[in-house]
Amino acid sequence: MSRPLLEVVGLTKSYPISGKGFFRTGRIPVLRGIDLTIAPGEVLGLVGESGSGKSTLGKTVLKLAELDAGTVRFDGRDLASLSKEQLRAVRKDMQIIFQDPYASLDPRKTIRAVLSEALDTHKLHMGERREPRLKELMEMVGLSPEFLGRLPHEFSGGQRQRVGIARAIAVEPRFIVADEAVSALDVSIQAQVLNLLADLRQKTGISLLFISHDLSVVRFISDRVMVLYLGRVMEIGPADDIHFNPAHPYTAALVSAEPGLTPKPGRVRLSGEIPSPANPPSGCVFRTRCPYAMDACAAEVPKLRRVGEARFSACIRDDIPNGAE
């Protein structure tokens, strides 16, 4: 078995809060002991509601945000042990596609300048090799090389996201975090961008951490899926197994809430909103919204347990209707 490209062990992340008078100070926990691995060429989907910690996890594994505890290893190297120069070299292999393709592009720079900046940072394709590489990147993401002289506002949302993808792959990375890369796009454009990412993965062999709140989108592109809720992993396993036979009630609720032509049998309905991470429920963090919660769910934090081949769920019950069709 090959060594994981990305290995995360016990990742914990919190953010400080401060206030005056009756307002308390301290830290808000966002991620609690996350473990994950991504193999070379693999796509791991990360799904969950807003506030579950998905984007924080993506930024933390890239060392764009500092972790409180735990270890992040990329190709066997502990990122925390690297010097600034060593980390700069590793960043060539670790890139990100942001959610908002307009906000992530400098409105004053042409697409040629945006892509060149990435290449200049790592001293790639210098001199006369630069222009052919820029044209190649545009063609790889389905855009005409003639658009290199345009500014971001001259593109549609889908085209801007393609530029964002071109910037991410410009330095030939081995791993990309796609943070809600299609959530701001129309459905038809979403399909085009997803197909583009799938084609790039096949051609280049890149690994992806694909973050989304939409389980059906995640299933389309992912090999495995991790379900996150309030900073804890609820379930992880092969994408089709997660979608068609969820083992955790939260996953079942996400599946059964997907739009369809007919109502789904055994739908799992949730009540209320996701709790504040500053005051999470005791025991299972999902229990306050779970229709199958028992007194035992409040007693201790459930650990991930094996529920099938390469399947793990953080639920103490075995009798949960899966909500899938």
Residue 85 phi, psi (nearest 5): -70, -40
pLDDT at position 189: 78
pLDDT, one tens digit per residue, over 135-181 is 999 998 889 999 999 999 999 888 998 999 999 999 999 999 999 88
> According to the model, what pLDDT value does residue 325 have?
43
Q: Does an H or E element contain 177, and which?
A: strand 175-179
Q: 10-residue block means of pLDDT along the chain (325 residues)? A: 88 82 72 94 93 92 92 94 89 90 87 94 92 93 93 90 91 93 78 86 91 87 94 94 90 79 61 83 91 89 89 85 51
217-230 pLDDT, tens per residue?
888 899 999 999 99
Task: Report the alpha-carbon distance of residue 39 to residue 238 in Å, rounded.
Answer: 13
Burial class (CB in 10 A: 0-12, 13-18, 19+), 183: middle
Say which CATH architecture domain 6-93+173-246 belongs to.
3-Layer(aba) Sandwich (3.40)
Q: What is the pLDDT of residue 22?
A: 54
pTM exceeding the 0.85 threshold for the entire prediction: yes
Which residues have CB under 8 Å from 290's CB, separation 6+?
249, 250, 270, 284, 297
Domain boundaries, the chain: 6-93+173-246
> Would you state the pLDDT for residue 125?
93
Place of tokens 């996150």: 228
